[in-house]
Amino acid sequence: MTNMKKPSFNDTMLILVFAAAILAMPLWLDPFGGNYPDLLQKFAIYGIFAIGFNILFGLTGYLSFGHAAFLGVGSYAAVWSFKLLTMNAIPAVIFGVLFAGLLAAIIGFLSLRRTGIYFSILTLAFAQMSYNLAYSVLTPITNGETGLQLARSDPRILDKLFSDGPASAGLPSTELFGETMSGYPGFYFCAVLLIIGFYISLRIFRSPFGLMLKGIKSNQNRMKYTGLNTRPYMLTAFIISGMYAGLAGSLLAVTDPLAGAERMQWTASGEVVLMTILGGAGTLVGPMLGAGLIKYFENIFSSFDDSVLQQAFSFLPDSVLEIVVPVVGLFVGSGWHLTLGLLFMIIVIFLPGGLVEGFRRIFNYFTSGGGKAETQSVEAHNQAGE
């Protein structure tokens, strides 16, 4: 996939198309019922999470099953920043990334002593310990099951320093230099960070560092006998990817200042694994697509109840309607998990390589050419086309 002589023109195009597609999401998601701030924010945030995860898993092949811990720590750090320092989003994001990076350094240092499934279980164990402690014993720091929330009585030292007016009656909201970070502004904030994150990921993919990581994935033994110390490379990749997760976690808190412990549970770790594989591990835009698809299902498909179906199929005669609605109802609304499960199976059975592979096939079908050189443009195409 690395094309040495490829002029960076293509990458520039890719970034531009990607940025345009992300910023235009409110437009093109509207017909799909996906245009509302919360979902758009989730797309961007989980996109960041998945892109970061892909730097570890896609490049090095190390499957971490504990990335949710970094997401959670990012959230907690951000909410504490809101509580103690200021409602401004910037310090929250910085703290989220830093603390997640710190935790990633510790967990990575220990877990990277092992490879393969042993590594996966070590990361899983660390994350589950974090989750269980956050849920119970660490409640003074995490507020347990309910999740860490803002309170009017929080110190917010910096905010108090710079404003002398009395606090407003309600809770303050997160802001970026006066702009409230919920709703569409929050989305654009996340989107900009997503684009930056994507750009960094692209640069890593195209850098000698990225090449080394791919080398580790391909043949760790040869890497060692090539004179390369694989541990620091791995640890760096792990920390970077943990920092992406921390960024995503802090953005979750920025757009909605509540940090719950279940963000760290293994199911959350599993979700990002599924997103990445579903979209296409090791591809640039795949994880982002996977994240979008899963979040779309979770938020939109789960909302199709019988009354919605009745409306959607109201063009059918009543007798048909009576059959169609319950049957379709099995797969949407409370049955949305079933559809998701089926989707996982169908995609992995028919499209090894994930969604990106699917788009590539479609693209190749139409151009009836295909080959390595087209990879990048195909990916760019995917972005625009989705």
Partner 1 sequence: MGDLVLHLDNINKSFGGLSALSDVNLHVEEGTTHAIIGPNGAGKSTLLNVCIGRLKPDTGKVTFAGEVLTGREPHEITQLGVARVFQTPEIFQEMTLLENVMIPAFSHRDGAFRLNANKLLSKQGEIRDEAEHILEDVGLKDMMLTEAGSLSRGDKRRLELGMCLILRPRLLLLDEPTAGMARHDTNQTIELLKKIKSRGMTKVIIEHDMHVVFSLADKVSVLARGQIIAGGDPQSVREDPKVKEAYLGGAH
Partner 2 sequence: MSDFKKSGMSRRGLLKAGAVGGLVAATPSFFIKDAWAEEFRNNPTNSGEVKLGFNVPQSGPYADEGADELRAYMLAVKHLNGEGDGGMLNTMKPSMLTGKGVLGKKVTYATGDTQTKSDAARASAKRMIEKDGVLMVTGGSSSGVAVAVQSLCQEQGIIFMAGLTHSNDTTGKDKRRYGFRHFFNAYMSGAALAPVLNKEYGSDRRAYHLTADYTWGWTQEESIKNSTEALGWETVNTVKTPVGAGDFSQYITPVLNSGADVLILNHYGKDMINSLSQAVQFGLRDKQVNGKNFEIVVPLFSRLMAQGAGDAIKGILGTTNWNWSLQDDGSKAFVQSFGAEYGAPPSMAAHTCYVQTLLYANACEMAGTFYPPEVIKQLEGFNFDGMGNGPTLYRAEDHQCFKDVLVVRGNENPSSQFDLLKVVDITPRAQVEYDWTIFGGELGPYEVKM
Partner 3 sequence: MDAIFIQILNGLDKGAAYALIALGLTLVFGTLGIVNFAHGALFMLGAFCAVTFQKIITISVKVRDEGVTAFVAYKEQPYLETWFGDTGRIIIDYSVPLSIILAIPLMLLVGYVMERGLIKHFYKRPHAEQILVTFGLAIVIQEIIKAYFGANPIPQAAPEILAGSANVGSWVGLGDNLVYPWWRLIYLCFSGIVIFAVFAFLQFTTYGMVVRAGMRDRETVGLLGINIERRFTVVFAIAAIVAGVAGVMYTPILPPDYHLGMEFLVLSFVVVVVGGMGSLGGAVLAGFLLGIVQSFASMNEVKDIFPGIDQIILYLVAVVILLVLPRGLMGRAGVMDD
Q: Which residues bind partner 3 (CB under 8 A)?
A: 57, 61, 63, 110, 113-118, 120-122, 124-126, 128-129, 132-133, 135-137, 220, 266, 270, 273-274, 277-278, 281, 330, 335, 337-338, 340-345, 347-349, 352
When the beta carbons of 16 and 342 are compared against partner 3, the nearer one is 342
> 3-class SS at 368?
coil
- Stretches 135-143, 218-226, 240-248, 282-290: which one binds partner 2 (CB under 8 A)? 135-143
113 belongs to the binding site for partner 2 (CB under 8 A): no
Three-state SS for 298-367 is HHCHHHCCHHHHHHHCCCCCHHHHHHHHHHHHCCCHHHHHHHHHHHHHHHHHHCCCHHHHHHHHHHHHHH
Q: Is the Cβ–Cβ distance between 144 and 136 less than 8 Å?
A: yes
Report what 327 binds from partner 1, partner 3, partner 2, none; CB cut-off 5-8 Å by kind.
Answer: none
- Stretches 4-12, 127-135, 137-145, 176-184: which one binds partner 1 (CB under 8 A)? 4-12
75, two tokens = 């959230």
User: Which 220-259 positions form the footprint of partner 1 (CB under 8 A)?
Assistant: 221-230, 232-233, 236
When the beta carbons of 115 and 173 are compared against partner 2, the nearer one is 173
When the beta carbons of 126 and 188 are compared against partner 3, the nearer one is 126
Report what 37 binds from partner 2, partner 1, partner 3, none; CB cut-off 5-8 Å by kind.
Answer: partner 2
300, two tokens = 């939109």
Report what 180 binds from partner 1, partner 2, partner 3, none; CB cut-off 5-8 Å by kind.
Answer: partner 2
User: Judged by CB under 8 A, how many residues of this single chain contact partner 2?
Assistant: 53
Report what 230 binds from partner 3, partner 1, partner 2, none; CB cut-off 5-8 Å by kind.
Answer: partner 1
Q: Cα dihedral sign for 22, 347, 274, 146?
A: positive
Residue 58 per-residue DSSP state? H
Question: Which of 63, 111, 93 has its CA nearest to residue 246?
Answer: 93
- Rounded Cα distance between 93 and 97, Å, is 6
Report what 369 binds from partner 3, partner 2, partner 1, none; CB cut-off 5-8 Å by kind.
Answer: none
- Rounded Cα distance between 7 and 340, Å, is 39
Report what 160 binds from partner 1, partner 3, partner 2, none; CB cut-off 5-8 Å by kind.
Answer: none
- Rounded Cα distance between 245 and 71, Å, is 5
337 belongs to the binding site for partner 2 (CB under 8 A): yes
When the beta carbons of 210 and 246 are compared against partner 1, the nearer one is 210
When the beta carbons of 8 and 163 are compared against partner 1, the nearer one is 8
- Rounded Cα distance between 21 and 47, Å, is 13
- Rounded Cα distance between 172 and 189, Å, is 18
